[in-house]
């Protein structure tokens, strides 16, 4: 009699060629994504670090493919940053309505971001883009988000106003110069300045 080959029925939640459920694997991904290092997570779950890294890479790729099917937020924020000194710039795309990061793309200039923006779904539906005062971002928004209104980021707008006020203060009071103590007082509220400054009434006359 020939040996009959037996087939094992698939278990719910376990995909072919896997020895763990998708729910458990996603939990490992979320823990690692939340900041638990691979060595500590592997030690807690009695796994190898390579297994943790493999699970994280698989779910990262899956999340990236899911993001490709998402439409661009209607209220968008753009900002540039670097992860450490010497690294090239990255551009962060933020969903300002829901207060979360939508995506991150390498580069900050239009030639560097053109490929990403060309494949971005829902660009025509964007109604507002918040940027810093960079002229490069302003031109980029006008080309790739033609129906969006450009709004200056509050932080950068206030920073420009503060710099202008500092210049005026130096013109009115040349002695101010770059004295950090005095400049710090100009940035404080009047109530705090009254508590921290003691004026000698004799010296004022």
Tens-level pLDDT at each residue, the chain (205 residues) = 444 544 444 545 556 556 678 888 888 888 888 888 888 888 988 888 888 888 888 887 777 666 666 788 999 999 888 766 666 788 889 999 988 888 888 888 889 999 989 988 889 999 999 998 878 888 999 999 999 999 988 777 787 777 777 788 778 777 776 666 666 666 666 665 554 444 343 333 3
Decide: pTM greater than 0.85: no
Query: Residues 138, 172: one domain?
Result: no
Q: How many domains does the chain have?
A: 3
Of 86, 103, 85, the closest CA to residue 94 belongs to 103
Helix axes 38-45, 49-68, angle to 10 degrees: 110
What pLDDT, on a 0 to 100 scale, did the predictor assign at position 86?
Answer: 64
Look at residue 53 and tell me if it is in a domain. Answer: yes
Domain that includes residue 42, residue range:
22-63
Q: Is 140 exposed, middle or buried (0-12, 13-18, 19+ CB in 10 A)?
A: buried
What pLDDT, on a 0 to 100 scale, did the predictor assign at position 175?
Answer: 72
What pLDDT, on a 0 to 100 scale, did the predictor assign at position 2?
Answer: 47
Query: Residues 79, 143: one domain?
Result: yes
Query: Residues 124, 161: one domain?
Result: no
Query: Residues 144, 176: one domain?
Result: no
What pLDDT, on a 0 to 100 scale, did the predictor assign at position 6?
Answer: 47
| CATH of residue 100 | 3.30.420.10
In the 3-class helix/strand/coil scheme, how is 143-192 assigned residue by residue? HHCCCCEEEECHHHHHHHHHHHHHHHHHHHCHHHCCCHHHHHHHCCCHHH
What pLDDT, on a 0 to 100 scale, did the predictor assign at position 164?
Answer: 78
Query: Residues 42, 95: one domain?
Result: no
What pLDDT, on a 0 to 100 scale, did the predictor assign at position 189?
Answer: 63
What pLDDT, on a 0 to 100 scale, did the predictor assign at position 17?
Answer: 58
Query: Residues 83, 99: one domain?
Result: yes
What pLDDT, on a 0 to 100 scale, did the predictor assign at position 67?
Answer: 65
Query: Residues 79, 147: one domain?
Result: yes
Look at residue 135 and tell me if it is in a domain. Answer: yes
């Amino acid at each position: 009699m020939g040996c009959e080959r037996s087939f094992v029925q698939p278990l719910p939640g376990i995909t072919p060629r896997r020895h763990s459920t998708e729910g458990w694997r996603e939990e490992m991904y979320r823990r690692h994504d939340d900041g638990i290092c691979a060595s500590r997570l592997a030690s807690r779950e009695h796994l190898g670090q390579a297994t943790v890294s493999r699970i994280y890479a698989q779910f990262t790729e899956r999340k990236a493919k899911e993001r490709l099917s998402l439409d661009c937020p209607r209220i968008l924020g753009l900002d540039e940053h670097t992860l450490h000194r010497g690294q090239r710039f990255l551009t962060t795309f933020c969903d300002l309505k829901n207060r979360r990061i939508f995506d991150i793309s390498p580069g900050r200039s239009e030639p560097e971001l053109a490929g990403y923006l060309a494949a971005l779904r829902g660009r025509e539906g964007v109604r507002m883009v918040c940027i810093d005062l960079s002229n490069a971002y302003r031109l980029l928004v006008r080309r790739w988000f033609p129906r969006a209104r450009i709004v200056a980021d509050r932080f950068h707008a206030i920073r420009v106003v503060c710099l202008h006020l500092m210049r005026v203060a130096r013109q009115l009071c040349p002695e101010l110069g770059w004295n950090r103590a005095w400049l710090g007082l100009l940035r404080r509220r009047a109530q705090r300045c009254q508590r921290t400054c003691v004026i000698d009434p004799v010296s004022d006359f």
